[in-house]
Chain A
Amino acid sequence: MSGSKAVAGATPDEPREPAVPGSSGMSLACADVSFSYEEARAPIPAVRDVSFELPAGGSLALMGASGSGKSTLLQVVRGLDAPDTGAVLLDGAAPVDAGYAALQREVGLVFQAPELQLFAATAREDVAFGPRRLGWPEEQVTAAVDTALDVVGLPPAHFAERHPYSLSGGEQRRLALAGVLAMRPRLLLLDEPFVSLDPGTRRQLVGILERLKAAGVTLLLATHDVDLAWALCDELLVLGEGRLVAAGPWDFSTAGGRLLAENRLREPFFVELWRRLGRDPQRAPRSASAAAEALS
């Protein structure tokens, strides 16, 4: 398979931090991307003329009401649907360029509902599905599975032989993530990863994503949770009815605030706090400890 070469090529400069898969992140650019489904009655939203850039190793929160096209955009970026017009550029390469398919295989997409993604008889088999499709030799697959399970906090010794459906909701969510991480994505797309997790499991997942970010993986995170988006992502992209409403660094100026409100989003907690304390909301902290540091 051509994919194995490209992925193997990505590995040498990687294991500075062996617990985290992936290596240097992939840059992403969408240029005038439009996509709509043929069946107009289907409740699957369209995406229209969306352009943005996400540098390698960057992190972008994708926000907007349900039905605004977030999931559709993620699937187009992953290449599950070809855009009607425009192009998705990966590491600057366009779909017509040689090696684009291999780059696409380095884009990982985790869907919202874990129960739609898990199917094998054991956690190990499930996570191994992707790496095997990449044509990796079996020992490399085993290593990748073990690493991925470790990274998501499901130690193989305890979890590898468990049946995916015997796991709790939070564990299933992390297993679905492991199935994608095992393929060593350089760009990770996540669709509402925090939904119906308890606060403890949410904290774990935030920790995992922070480590991936530190390891250089590029993150594109679709979420409704503005506080977690602010904690994890450098930049913000807002979709409204399939169109791009805002893209770039978080903007809490008057205009930026209005834009958030118009799209039924609120300010992150720390931003509101900073504004009400008379401080510059643009420089609001991203975590409780950073806020305490600034206030002490």
Chain B
Amino acid sequence: MKATIAQYYAGDSLLHRLDPRAKFVAVSALAVALFVRDSFAGLAVYAAAAVLAYALSGVPVAWFWRAFRPLLWLVALTFVAQVVFAPGDPFFSFWFIHLSWRGLELAAFLSLRLVVLVLVGSVLTLTTPSMALTDGLAWLGRPLRRLRVPTDELALMVTIALRFIPTLLVELDTIMRAQRARGADFRHGGLGERTRSLVPVLVPLFVLSFRRADELALAMEARCYRPGAVRTRLHPLRAGWSDFALLVVTAAVIAAGLLV
């Protein structure tokens, strides 16, 4: 099993205790600012804010690093693509590769921006259980209910999907093992051959998922779930002064980044 995006780290920091709605708004605003502002100075301000926020979260660096490591490829790819294809007067040329100072600068900027963006997003997912996050999103999406979008039901669906991702990964692994034990080979052969060998893997996975969906729906109904009915929550969303403060601080950081 591989970690996907930075997963929630159970903790009790200031950031953990903030309302998911406030965190989501703050992080989204910061992400937009990151894209709008294209100077190293602005980037430096946002990077500093992101590092500070991460430090406040109390999440061990190793935890973050494990999730971030696979993304290094993406950063490296961004860098290389920019270096190779960026405009500017080349100081070095070979075949289709033209290195220019302008290109290097742009590559550094874009890959750094990507790193900061990931860090900002991670602070959100590291300190907010995905259930709280979906609850927050459902609340923010409430105006859509006027358009008959079932936001609460969608939020519950997302929660359940997230809950079952680890389970599905384990099952997928077991299915492949059972077939490898009978001589299946997923590692060798041509692309077509390997694709064909995946069919017997997907069949049981689908059958199992349908059965699971059926059993899960029953178990939910057995616990009195009715789509559309009014529900309360064990952890109701409660915004306080600290959430308001977060928004003010974020606004200040964004403004600072835009002005420097």
Q: Let me know if chains A and B touch directly in the complex, using CB atoms closer than 8 Å.
A: yes
Residues of A in contact with B (beta carbons under 8 Å apart): 3, 39, 41-44, 75, 78, 80, 105, 108-109, 111, 113, 115-120, 129-130, 133-134, 165, 179-180, 183
Scan B187-203; emit 1 where CB is below 8 A from any A CB, else 0.
00000000000011101
CA distance A3 to B211 in the complex (A): 37
Question: Are A134 and B177 within 8 A (Cβ)?
Answer: no
Interface presence of B182 (CB below 8 A)? yes
| Chain A positions within 8 Å of B208 at CB level | 115-116
User: In this complex, what residue of B is CB-closest to A75?
Assistant: B177
User: In this complex, what residue of B is CB-closest to A176?
Assistant: B178
Question: Are A117 and B184 within 8 A (Cβ)?
Answer: no
Interface presence of B88 (CB below 8 A)? no
User: In this complex, what residue of A is CB-closest to B207?
Assistant: A165
Question: Are A129 and B182 within 8 A (Cβ)?
Answer: yes
Question: Are B2 and A80 within 8 A (Cβ)?
Answer: no
Question: Are B183 and A115 within 8 A (Cβ)?
Answer: no
Question: Are A80 and B200 within 8 A (Cβ)?
Answer: no
CA distance A120 to B204 in the complex (A): 9
Query: What is the interface size of chain B, counting residues whose CB is below 8 A from a CB of the partner?
Result: 24
| Chain B positions within 8 Å of A130 at CB level | 182-183
Interface presence of B89 (CB below 8 A)? no
Question: Are B182 and A111 within 8 A (Cβ)?
Answer: no
Q: How far is the CB of B169 from chain A (nearest CB, A)?
A: 9
Question: Are B177 and A111 within 8 A (Cβ)?
Answer: yes
User: In this complex, what residue of B is CB-closest to A117?
Assistant: B178
Given contacts A109-B181, A129-B179, A130-B183, 17 further A-B contacts (CB under 8 A): A39-B1, A42-B1, A111-B177, A111-B178, A111-B181, A115-B211, A116-B171, A119-B199, A119-B200, A119-B201, A119-B203, A120-B200, A130-B182, A133-B183, A165-B207, A183-B182, A183-B183
Most buried by A among B174, B179, B181, B203: B181
Residues of B in contact with A (beta carbons under 8 Å apart): 1-3, 170-171, 174-175, 177-185, 199-201, 203-204, 207-208, 211
Question: B2, B3, B204: which contacts A115 (Cβ < 8 A)?
Answer: B204
Question: A42, A44, A179: which contacts B182 (Cβ < 8 A)?
Answer: A179
Q: How far is the CB of A46 from chain B (nearest CB, A)?
A: 14
Interface of B is mostly: helix
Contacts A39-B2, A116-B175 given: A80-B180 contact, CB under 8 Å? yes
Can you identify 12 A-B contacts, CB atoms within 8 angstroms?
A44-B170, A78-B181, A80-B180, A109-B178, A109-B181, A111-B181, A115-B204, A115-B207, A115-B211, A117-B178, A129-B182, A134-B183
Contacts A118-B204, A119-B203 given: A105-B183 contact, CB under 8 Å? yes
| Chain B positions within 8 Å of A111 at CB level | 174, 177-178, 181
CA distance A119 to B179 in the complex (A): 10
CA distance A39 to B166 in the complex (A): 13
| Chain B positions within 8 Å of A44 at CB level | 170
CA distance A39 to B2 in the complex (A): 7
| Chain B positions within 8 Å of A80 at CB level | 177, 180-181
Q: How far is the CB of A174 from chain B (nearest CB, A)?
A: 15
User: In this complex, what residue of A is CB-closest to B175?
Assistant: A116
| Chain A positions within 8 Å of B182 at CB level | 129-130, 133, 179-180, 183
Question: Are B183 and A116 within 8 A (Cβ)?
Answer: no
Question: A39, A116, A129: which contacts B174 (Cβ < 8 A)?
Answer: A116
| Chain B positions within 8 Å of A43 at CB level | 170
| Chain B positions within 8 Å of A41 at CB level | 1
User: In this complex, what residue of A is CB-closest to B202?
Assistant: A119
Q: How far is the CB of A36 from chain B (nearest CB, A)?
A: 13
| Chain A positions within 8 Å of B177 at CB level | 75, 80, 111
| Chain A positions within 8 Å of B204 at CB level | 115-119
Question: Are A133 and B184 within 8 A (Cβ)?
Answer: yes
